[in-house]
Structures are given as C-alpha cells and as structure tokens.
Amino acid sequence: MTIEILCGVSMLINLHNWFTAKDGNLYKQIWGTCRIIASKQILGFEPRQTANWVLQMGTDKKDTVFILGCQVVYAQLCPEKPKMGSCYYVK
C-alpha cells in the first residue's frame, strides 16, 4: 500500500515514547483516522535530523493529535476501535 491509500483510514499507532494527552494520562498507543502531512506544512520549515513527515490523528479539530514521523514504531490498519485500556482514542 502507498501512503496515499493509508490516509483517511483508521489505524492503531504504537510510538517510541510516551505522550501526555489532554486528559492528563500517558499513552504509547493512539487510534483514530490518520493523515500524513509534510513537516513543513505544520512546522513552517523542513527539519533536518528527524522525519520529514507528521502523522495527523483524528479529524475533529478539538481532538486532533500531531505526531512526528520519527516517533512511529508500528502502524496497523485497524478499522474498529481496539479494546485495550492504555490507548488514546481520537475521532
């Protein structure tokens, strides 16, 4: 599959490091609709020593999470919300 095909589908993403979500909890997994964006569109410049892409998780502006590509360890197609306790869910 190409990156373009993966945009707009629900995915389960496992990350290198923990992140603090807006609910105040720490997570290493996130599930939701994904979209891949060039870093320059988000940051306004092209980073030199990290991934040059950002994963946008979620389509609701209030819940959207942006993850630098260098933080992604695994990405799995996952059309249904997974049943796991330590995963952050976005729409």
Q: What is the pTM of this model?
A: 0.82
Tell me the pLDDT band of 3, cut-offs 50, 70 and 90. Answer: low
- The helix (run of H) or strand (run of E) holding residue 39 is helix 39-43
The three-state secondary structure class of 21 is: coil
Instruction: State the average pLDDT over residues 19-38.
Output: 93
> Which SS3 state, helix, strand or coil, does residue 71 take?
helix
Q: Are 77 and 9 in contact (CB under 8 A)?
A: yes
pLDDT tens for 33-58 read: 999 888 888 778 887 777 788 899 99
Whole-angstrom distance, CA of residue 88 vs CA of residue 90: 7
Q: Domain extents for the chain?
A: 3-79
CATH of domain 3-79: 2.30.30
Query: What pLDDT was estimated at residue 37?
Result: 87
Q: How far apart are CA 54 and CA 85, in angstroms?
A: 25
